[in-house]
Structure 1
Amino acid sequence: MRPRTEIAMTDAATQTDAAIGEVDAHRRILVAAAHRMLGTLAEAEDAVQEAFVRWIRLHPSERAAIANPAGWLMRVTGRICLDTLGSARARRETYVGEWLPEPVPADLSNGDPAEAALAAESVSTALLLVLETLTPAERVAFVLHEVFAVPFGEIAEVLGRSPAACRQLAASARLHVGRRSGAAVPRSRHDEVVAAFAAASATGRLDALVRVLAPDVVLVSDGGGVVSAARRPVRGVDHVARFLLGLARKQPTAAYEPMVTGDGLGFVIRLNGTVAAVVTFATDGERITDVWMMRNPGKLRAWV
């Protein structure tokens, strides 16, 4: 017969394993939600890890009393993201150069469950940039309710406000997102425009590239202060075209690999086999309106 202490230790280990399994079962959806709230995969994973720690620290009887562990984990993750958003805004004020949300591939095959969840429910850079303009409370309310259908009563627990106030926050965010997002371009048309841009870029001719760029096109490059990147947005068709052609001349051995992203067709730029940048686009259905160039190595790990 085993000693009581050994039995107790075995039971505790079993309970811990069960608690870990509960979190792992919901990790994909939690990371997907946190990514929308925070804009980077690293911060999203940190938020979910913190929720995981809080779940494990609960007494087994407390966990057993929670009827909906998935809902509990989502609420806790939302609260952590709300707290993180406040400090993130302060950090971004001192960020070196322009800040862009982390692009995520729409088709990953490396087997990571969190990234697979993000791939299945990928979001565009355009949407994440609009979400950046919301207040932290609006962003959390919008993501939890509009994307993940969390009831306002539960969102109220996250935000520390009444359900009615949370409903107003989500409505305000929805209106703002709709107004800033503009008319949606069909993905097939978006990809056709990007393919035309790629063909024009391959010619190396300024006039060819200018024809596929909107007059008020904007290029934003995020190097995070780690690698060289344009410190300010490049604006206007002539400036953007010359910037892109100049970059191509400086990197004659660069390989441009087409890749499906949350924005549609984009490109992974490799130098000597190493991912140097990911470029995504927005279009008006006829020409390129925005070019987003992610060069920050810390936001490229999903592409390696």
Structure 2
Amino acid sequence: MDRVDDGSPLADLLDERRHLVTLAHRVLGSLRDAESAVDECYRRWYALSDRERERIAVPRSWLAGSVGGICLARLALPGPGEDAGAEDVVPTVPDVIVAAPPLAPEPTTLRRHDAVVHAVRRACVTADEDMLLSLLAPDASAFFDGGGKIRTLVAPVHGRDRVARSVLRLLDRPPHTTTLAAHSVNGRTGLVVRHDRRVVAVLSLEVAGAEVVRMWVVVNPDKLRSWNTGRP
């Protein structure tokens, strides 16, 4: 039977990136260069095929080794005024981006939409999988946008069972460090996740009747910057 990947807790993925940035910073001595090296490391991760990623037992260790190699290669590059020589060529792929959901035809009333979103929030806060399942359409889908900078799920998730497991897995953290609040997102009520008071995820939901049919989960730090610096 094929292994089903329901992702990792968002807090763990954020800690993973912080760990990689700290490692790169120690080697390169510049936070900006460290961030760039880590971004390159994640591009290498996403350049792998699904089968290659599945063969990596401990992704965090693979990423640490990769970022270490990137830093050492950059240190070996000639500085300004030196012979440029051959440069380290790294395969790049576009960031994994999920566009903001378009405005769909009115599937339900605003009051019903808000009620469903608030119910989803309660299910997530209490980690009540049965309740969350009851709020999802049988063919519900979830899309995760890490922008190539957070190691979230690459492919969309389909079916209420996998959507419920993936979302609850992503938000699996003690309540004193992570909060989940209803907030206006793309003109409709959505959910905003804060970890240590910083916005680390924004969820947009499309509701039809009394069920969520699609969910967009944005964890791309570039897209969340405005949430942490001012009005989104």
TM value normalised by structure 2: 0.54
CA contact (8 A) 1:263 1:281 kept: no
Residue 257 of structure 1 corresponds to which residue in structure 2? 181
Deviation at 1:184, TM superposition (A): 3.5
Say whether residues 1:245 and 2:171 are aligned partners: no
The 1:184–1:207 alpha-carbon spacing in structure 2 relative to 1, beyond 3 Å, is closer
Query: Could you tell me which of 116, 119, 131 is aligned with 1:193?
Result: 116
In structure 1, the partner of 2:99 is 101
Deviations 1:193-227 (A, max 9, x none): 11111122233122111101111111101011111
Q: Aligned to 1:279, which of 186, 190, 203? A: 203
Equivalence for 2:144? 221
Q: Distance in 2 between matches of 1:184 and 1:212?
A: 15
**Equivalent pair of 1:200/1:212 in contact (CA under 8 Å):** no
Q: Please say if residues 280 and 293 of structure 1, whose CA atoms lie closer than 8 Å, have aligned partners that are also in contact.
A: yes
What amino acid sits opposite 2:98 in the alignment? L
The match for 2:3 is none
Conserved 8 A contact 1:257-1:267: yes
Match 1:204 to one of 127, 132, 150: 127
Q: Which has the higher strand share?
A: 2
1:250-274 deviation digits (Å, cap 9, x = unpaired): 4652111221122411121111111
CA distance in 1, matches of 2:106, 2:118: 21
Sequence identity (%): 33
Partner SS state of residue 300, structure 1:
helix
Conserved? CA contact 2:206–2:215, under 8 Å: yes
- Structure 1, 247-256 or 258-267: larger mean CA deviation: 247-256
**Preserved contact between residue 281 and residue 292 of structure 1 (Cα < 8 Å):** yes
**2:157 alignment counterpart:** 234
**Equivalent residues, number:** 136
Q: 1:267 to 1:183 in 2, by over 3 A?
A: closer
The amino acid that maps onto 1:278 is: V
Displaced runs of 4+ in structure 1, greater than 4 A? none
| 2:102 is equivalent to residue 126 of structure 1 | yes
1:104-136 deviations in whole A, cap 9, x for unaligned? xxxxxxxxxxxxxxxxxxxxx233xxxxxxxxx
d(CA) in 2 for partners of 1:277, 1:251 = 16
Report SS of the residue matched to 2:172.
helix
The answer to whether the 8 Å contact 2:121/2:181 transfers is no
Change (3 A) 1:204 1:254: same
Residues in 1 aligned to 2:153 and 2:225: alpha-carbon distance in whole angstroms: 21
Contact 1:193 1:283 in 2 (8 A): yes
Higher-RCO chain (CA-CA 8 Å, sequence separation at least 6): 2
1:268–1:183: structure 2 CA closer, same or farther, 3 Å change rule? closer
Q: Deviation string for 1:23-59 (max 9, x for gaps)?
A: xxxxxxxxxxxxxxxxxxxxxxxxxxxxxxxxxxxxx
When residues 231 and 251 of structure 1 are mapped into structure 2, their CA distance, relative to the original with a 3 A threshold, is farther
Is 1:220–1:293's contact at 8 Å kept on the other side of the alignment? yes
Q: Which has the larger radius of gyration?
A: 1
| Distance (whole Å) between structure 1 residues aligned to residue 152 and residue 214 of structure 2 | 16
Say which structure is richer in helix. Answer: 1
The 3-state SS of whatever aligns with 1:228 is coil
> Could you tell me whether the CA contact under 8 Å between 1:268 and 1:277 is conserved in 2?
yes
Q: Aligned letter for 1:272?
A: D
Could you say what the CA RMSD is over the residues aligned between the two structures, in angstroms? 2.1
Q: Distance in 1 between matches of 2:201 and 2:166?
A: 15
Alpha-carbon shift at residue 275 of structure 1 (Å): 1.3
